[in-house]
Amino acid sequence: MKINGRKLVKRSCSFAFARSPLSSGHRRPLPLSGSHWNFSKPIAIAGFLDVIHHHANFLYKFSFLLSTSTSDLSFFSFLLLMASFFSSTFLIFVTIFAAFSTSRSSTIGVEYISRLLEIQDRERVPAYVQVAAARGVLRRLLPSHLPSFDFQIVSKDKCGGESCFVIRNHRAFRKSGDPEILIAGVTGVEILAGLHWYLKHWCGAHISWDKTGGSQLFSVPKAGLLPRIQTNEVVVQRPIPLNYYQNAVTSSYSFAWWDWKRWEKEIDWMALQGINMPLAFTGQEAIWRKVFRKFNISNSDLDDFFGGPAFLAWSRMGNLHKWGGPLPQSWFDQQLILQKKVIGRMFELGMTPVLPAFSGNIPAAFKQIYPAAKITRLGNWFTVHSDPRWCCTYLLDAMDPLFVEIGKAFIEQQQKEYGRTSHVYNCDTFDENTPPVDDVEYISSLGSAIFGGMQAGDSNAVWLMQGWMFSYDPFWRPQQMKALLHSVPLGRLVVLDLYAEVKPIWISSEQFYGIPYIWKVSISILLLNLNAHI
- CATH superfamily, domain 127-237, is Chitobiase/beta-hexosaminidase domain 2-like (3.30.379.10)
Is residue 16 over pLDDT 50? no
User: Phi, psi (5° rounding) for residue 6?
Assistant: -105, 150
HEC per residue, 25-44: CCCCCCCCCHHHCCCCCCEE
User: Phi, psi (5° rounding) for residue 167?
Assistant: -120, 130
DSSP assignment, residue 11? Answer: P
In angstroms, what CA-CA distances link 262 with 32, 174, 186, 217, 254?
34, 37, 26, 20, 11
More confident site: 500 or 487: 487
**SS3 (DSSP) at 275:** coil
Gap between the Cα atoms of 377 and 232, Å rounded: 65
Residue 502 pLDDT grade (very low, low, confident, very high; cuts 50, 70, 90) = confident
| Model confidence pLDDT, tens digit, residues 391-441 | 889 999 988 999 999 999 999 999 999 999 999 999 988 878 788 888 999
HEC per residue, 378-406: CCCCCCHHHCCCCCCCEEECCCCHHHHHH
> What does the radius of gyration of the chain's CA atoms come to, in whole angstroms?
23
pTM over 0.85: no
Helices (H), 35-148: 73-83, 106-123, 127-141
Side chain identity at residue 293, one-letter code? R
Q: Which helix (H) or strand (E) holds 362?
A: strand 361-362
E strands along 138-192, which residues?
149-153, 164-169, 181-185
Is residue 507 over pLDDT 70? yes
Give the domain ranges of the chain.
14-123, 127-237
**SS3 (DSSP) at 298:** coil
Say what angle helices 127-141 and 188-203 make with each other, to 10 degrees: 40
| Model confidence pLDDT, tens digit, residues 96-127 | 333 344 444 556 677 888 889 899 999 999 99
For residue 527, the model assigns a pLDDT of 44
Task: Answer yes or no: are the C-beta atoms of 515 and 103 closer than 8 Å.
Answer: no
For residue 64, the model assigns a pLDDT of 24
**SS3 (DSSP) at 187:** coil
In angstroms, what CA-CA distances link 417 with 65, 279, 331, 362, 409?
42, 17, 17, 21, 12
User: Phi, psi (5° rounding) for residue 491?
Assistant: 95, -10
In angstroms, what CA-CA distances link 465 with 450, 451, 486?
11, 11, 13
Q: What percent of the chain has pLDDT over 70?
A: 77
Gap between the Cα atoms of 518 and 420, Å rounded: 25
Beta strands 54-55 and 43-48: pairing type? unpaired
Which residues sit opposite 17 in a β-bridge?
45
